[in-house]
Homo-oligomer: A and B are copies of this chain.
Amino acid sequence: MEHPIIAIIGGTGKEGMGLALRWANAGYKIVIGSRQDEKAIMAAEEINHRLGINSVIGLEYAEAVTKAEICVLTVVQSAHQQVLQSLKDVFQGKILVDATARVDYQNPRPPDPPSAAQQAQEILGPTARVVAAFQNVPAKTLTKAIDQPIDADVLVCSDDIPAAQLIIQLAKAAGLRGYYAGYLANANVVEGLTSILISMNKHYGIKDARIMVSGISDDS
């Protein structure tokens, strides 16, 4: 099967850039989406330059979504609802991967339900295939040693299991292990893990506490 085209909505931020780098490096066609197309083009050129390729392109949000089969949402949490509202029409029928973790880094506490991904599903309606993933992956680990696997696991939640399975493959292509972690409602727990990881980092004076899954063999 040919690789699907991936749009990174909010692709000029650190998390989006990190995922884009790794997927482009694994041979995926990447579209960087930004509010302003000049910023998107600059980010795309930065990735092309780093990887010695020319396949990554930059476009304004709606055009980026239109070009792609899978859209990964990595905008800042304050822009989450507004971006989804404005792109509602173009998202229909696409897989939307919501990487939003609603957390205050200064004062971490678990977010109230519903999860960001459930809010996305509510805004986009039932034909969008919403998957929650990548909320806990530290951005800086994505951009370092991009050929190397990362020992942080990705909990993938969706009501659409085939869509979740595609995203588990995408996680693998980025050097991460992905696991199906239940329905979209469970994504609120995954967002809350960010609050736990920040609390651990503060308490132990470290920067990259991570959650791993144990007990599931690679061929499960």
Q: How far, in Å, is A29 (CB) from chain B's closest CB?
A: 30
B189 touches A196 (CB 8 A): yes
Q: How many Å lie between the Cα of A210 and that of B185 in the bound state?
A: 19
Q: How far, in Å, is A109 (CB) from chain B's closest CB?
A: 5
Q: How far, in Å, is A147 (CB) from chain B's closest CB?
A: 20
Q: How many Å lie between the Cα of A206 and that of B113 in the bound state?
A: 28
Q: How many Å lie between the Cα of A113 and that of B108 in the bound state?
A: 15
Q: How far, in Å, is A174 (CB) from chain B's closest CB?
A: 17
State which of B110, B113, B185, B209 has its C-beta within 8 Å of the C-beta of A214.
B209
Q: How far, in Å, is A66 (CB) from chain B's closest CB?
A: 33
Closest B-chain residue to A155, C-beta based? Answer: B196
Count, chain A residues at interface, CB 8 A:
39
Q: How many Å lie between the Cα of A211 and that of B136 in the bound state?
A: 14
Q: How far, in Å, is A145 (CB) from chain B's closest CB?
A: 16
Report B-chain residues with C-beta under 8 Å of the C-beta of A211. 211-214
Known pairs A180-B199, A199-B180, A200-B179; A215 contacts B220 (CB<8 A): no
In the assembled complex, 16 residue pairs joining A and B whose CB atoms fall closer than 8 Å, in A order, are A108-B182, A109-B186, A110-B188, A155-B196, A181-B199, A182-B198, A182-B200, A186-B192, A188-B192, A190-B196, A200-B213, A200-B216, A209-B213, A210-B214, A211-B212, A212-B212
